[in-house]
Chain A
Amino acid sequence: MNTLILISVLPILLLYLGVFKAKNALLPVTVIGLLAAAGLAIAGWNANATPIYHDMVLFDRFSIAFSVITILSTVLILLLSKDYFEKISSHVAEYYAVMLFSLAGIICMVSYYNLTMLFIGIEIMSVSLYILAGIKKRDFASNEASLKYFLMGAFSTGFLLFGIALIYGATGSFSISVIRDWILTHPRGIDPLFHTGVLLIIVGLCFKLGAAPFHFWTPDVYEGSPSLITAFMSTVVKTAGIAAFLRLFQSAFSTISDFWMPVLLVITVLTLFIGNITALYQQSFKRMLAFSSISHAGYLLFAVVALGAASANSVLIYAAAYSIASIIAFGVLILVQQQADSDHFSSFNGLGKSNPFLAFVLTVAMLSLAGIPLTAGFIGKFYMFTGALSRLQVWLVIIAVVNAIISIYYYFKVIVAMYFRGGEERTVLAVPGYFVFVLGLSALLTIVLGVYPTLIADINF
């Protein structure tokens, strides 16, 4: 609870700092505040968690682990924001504030114990993101991204809310524990009200997660938004979405998995194929990352399809690996975009000679996203596939492996461009210190997690 309070109050402090023109204090205060919030969350690790405030929230180990991972990813992304927002406009404090509000919503999403809290968390996160997507006011792509995201988001919220209302109508409560008990005491076939509600909730959450066939807003929104915001959307938001998904289905709907499992299975397979095959045809690095984020949503859904005791662990490690690698990719993209003013693959040509460090960290990130051994991405995929195999879903794993092989092709496109396509000499990119820190740390984490996965894989939920 302290984490949530701190993250809700911190943006207000930042707004005051903005009023008093203390621009240089913004980033340090934000980072220190977020680290303190993460520390407060970890402090409650061994506490015996019970639902608090009339069963509204439950800060158990699951919620702590995901809160910490989203907070730390946000810190890494914010460190990349040094001098980034200043180029857009002079109201820097507001950007930080809105981003932190969004994080407060995410904390609600990973620690809810009542569907109203889930809904409010998703709304806080989404409304802040609609704003952040459109902060480049004079850029038509950014305007388009914001409007599309808003319309699609509002539409999907309708599905989610309708699903929650139907479940309330059937069970008479929003509380997850009451819903779980209701399922146990009503073991009859299919209740039209309740099961329609479950399906509508799946639709609403898949919209937020960007899983096919509800993914069509993703490419345009990710491409049009400022790169830093896209990094936030494709890492932190996706982690929060899958955490909310897993929490609901693990604690409330796990006993009726026969009903929703086939639906999610189809969604997962569709997501994998659509994400990977469309990514093959992309010429823009940013748009390729958008489609690859769709396919990663598919891999993340594995944990829900093969629901078991280890699901939370595999989602945690996969989400961590994916977030770290994506942060590297977007960090390098921001630098290259500033120099070449384009996010086309060809703007990476010759980066291996001019900036060996950038080329190396981006290679590590791409290998991790593709799931090559000795990187964190491999460990994430390994845990996901083991979970699925233990539920005897051999075909699903075969399809996923085929997709992983397809993905290697487009991830290697950028590596090939950096090292083997030189042409004219390119000028050396100036890499600010913050970027060196974030990119170096992320690359190090990717390799360390790849070699010693037990660091976070053995966390006991």
Chain B
Amino acid sequence: MSTFYVIAFLSIVFSLLVIFAKNPVHSVLYLILTFFTFTIHYILLNAQFLAVVNFIVYMGAIMVLFLFVMMLLNLNKDTEPGKHNLAKLAGVIAGGCLLVVIAGSLKALGKSEPVVLQNPDLGLVKNLGKVLFGEFLLPFEVSSVLLLSAMVGAVLLAKKEPRTV
């Protein structure tokens, strides 16, 4: 239990730092740390597959994309442009609405019995594979069409045309 509280505290601290960091690159680096704490949460919940996917896809692939975009657009300046007053007002209203919603849902919250997993091995990769290749075999196979189509399309769009139209 204490591990959970430490990690949850770290998650909140890092996600606050994402917002408050002036330099966008630092912001992204804090985001990586936030995602890393999420990975630990998943492991604590015994969801191995989610943890691995979160680690590889989010921390690896998507964060690198973020950094690339920042490099290409040359966004790594310390100062961010001043926001328009109207935008600030809209932000305050939107944030206030969110606060009201959270407060309202917290009021309706009751302390529930701790959920006991029927099967503690539920999140293991082995069980997931059994479901994927058993019950969900057809969707799994059909998604290959999706990937193939996307692959053909990506090559088609990215390939240089020999003649100018």
Contact = CB atoms under 8 A, between A and B. Distances in A.
**A pairs with B:** yes
Interface of A: 4, 8, 11-12, 15, 53-54, 56-57, 88-91, 94-95, 97-98, 101-102, 104-105, 108, 114, 116-117, 120-121, 123-124, 127-128, 130-131, 134-138
Given A120-B142, A121-B142, 5 more contacts: A12-B148, A54-B137, A89-B165, A127-B146, A131-B150
A116 B139 contact: yes
Contact of B138 (A56, A91, A134): A56
Interface stretch (B25-33, B45-53, B63-71, B156-164): B156-164
Contacts of B145: 8, 101, 104-105, 124
Contacts of B4: none
B156 A94 contact: yes
Contacts of A116: 136, 139
Contacts, number: 84
B95 interface: no
A4 B154 CA distance: 23
B142 A128 contact: no
Q: Which of A88, A95, A124, A136 has the most CB of B within 10 A?
A: A124
B149 A128 contact: yes
Q: Which of B136, B154, B164 has the most CB of A within 10 A?
A: B136
A90 B157 CA distance: 13
Contact of B146 (A88, A97, A124, A134): A124
24 contacts: A8-B145, A15-B152, A54-B136, A54-B138, A56-B136, A56-B138, A57-B138, A89-B161, A97-B149, A98-B149, A98-B156, A101-B148, A102-B149, A105-B146, A117-B139, A120-B139, A120-B142, A120-B143, A120-B146, A124-B146, A127-B153, A135-B156, A136-B165, A137-B161
Given A89-B161, A127-B146, A137-B161, A98 B153 contact: yes
A57 B142 CA distance: 12
Q: Which of B149, B150, B153, B162 has the most CB of A within 10 A?
A: B149
A54 B149 contact: no
Interface residues of B, number: 24
Given A8-B145, A89-B165, A124-B146, A97 B138 contact: no
Nearest to A112: B139
B138 to A, nearest CB: 4
A95 B149 CA distance: 10
Interface in B112-163: 134-139, 142-143, 145-146, 148-150, 152-157, 159, 161-162
Contacts of A127: 146, 149-150, 153
B142 A91 contact: no
B156 to A, nearest CB: 5
Contact of A117 (B134, B142, B152, B165): B142
Given A137-B161, A138-B164, A131 B156 contact: yes
B47 to A, nearest CB: 16
Contacts of A90: 161-162
Nearest to B143: A120
B89 to A, nearest CB: 25
A108 B142 CA distance: 9
A88 B165 contact: yes
A281 to B, nearest CB: 31
Q: Which of B142, B150, B159 has the most CB of A within 10 A?
A: B142
A91 B159 contact: yes
Contacts of B157: 131, 134-135, 137
A53 B164 contact: no
B138 A117 contact: yes
Nearest to B153: A131
Nearest to B139: A116
A54 B134 contact: yes
Nearest to A108: B142
A110 to B, nearest CB: 14
A27 B131 CA distance: 40
